[in-house]
């Protein structure tokens, strides 16, 4: 289950990066139906697997602060991703949003590996 979760997480970030590149190039590929649907399917699977693992391993964000921090980082990643792809008004802000989103991904990975909170510990 863990390896499937990691694989789907990688696919999610790669799809985000692909859409970001297309956004910078003003590509009409962003309007394709699969581009609008597939990331939501992938992210739903990712979230479902994460919830299933947390339940199976009895991990609670109220007891495991690294997990609480990871959940907050996931929310921040979602927000910066939406900002980057939909709300940012110019290429500079899109690039800043993308770099911020990737920064949150790096924190999520760090927390998953070390299980040591950076801010809540």
Q: Please report the pLDDT score of residue 118 as a whole number.
A: 87
Q: Please report the pLDDT score of residue 29 as a whole number.
A: 97
pLDDT in tens, the chain (121 residues): 999 999 999 999 999 999 999 999 999 999 999 999 999 999 999 999 999 999 999 999 999 999 999 999 999 999 999 999 999 999 999 999 999 999 999 999 999 999 999 888 7
In a domain, 28, yes or no: yes
In a domain, 120, yes or no: no
Q: Please report the pLDDT score of residue 105 as a whole number.
A: 97
In a domain, 45, yes or no: yes
pTM score of the predicted model: 0.91
In a domain, 106, yes or no: yes
Residues in contact with 22: Cβ distance below 8 Å, sequence separation at least 6, in sequence order: 29, 30, 35
In a domain, 110, yes or no: yes
In a domain, 33, yes or no: yes
Tokens of 12: 């999610």
In a domain, 119, yes or no: no
Q: Show the domain range for 108.
A: 2-114
The structural domain count of the chain equals 1
Tokens of 75: 């929310």
């Amino acid at each position: 289950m863990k390896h499937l979760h990691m694989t789907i997480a990688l696919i999610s970030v790669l799809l985000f990066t692909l859409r970001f590149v297309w956004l910078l190039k003003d590509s009409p590929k962003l309007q394709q139906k699969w581009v609008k649907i597939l990331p939501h399917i992938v992210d739903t699977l990712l979230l479902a697997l994460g919830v299933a693992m947390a339940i199976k391993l009895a991990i609670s964000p109220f007891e495991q602060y690294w997990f609480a921090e990871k959940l907050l980082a996931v929310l921040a990643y979602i927000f910066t991703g939406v900002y980057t792809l939909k709300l940012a008004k110019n290429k500079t802000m899109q690039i800043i949003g993308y770099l911020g989103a990737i920064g949150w991904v790096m924190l999520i990975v760090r927390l998953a590996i070390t299980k040591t909170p950076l801010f809540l510990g």
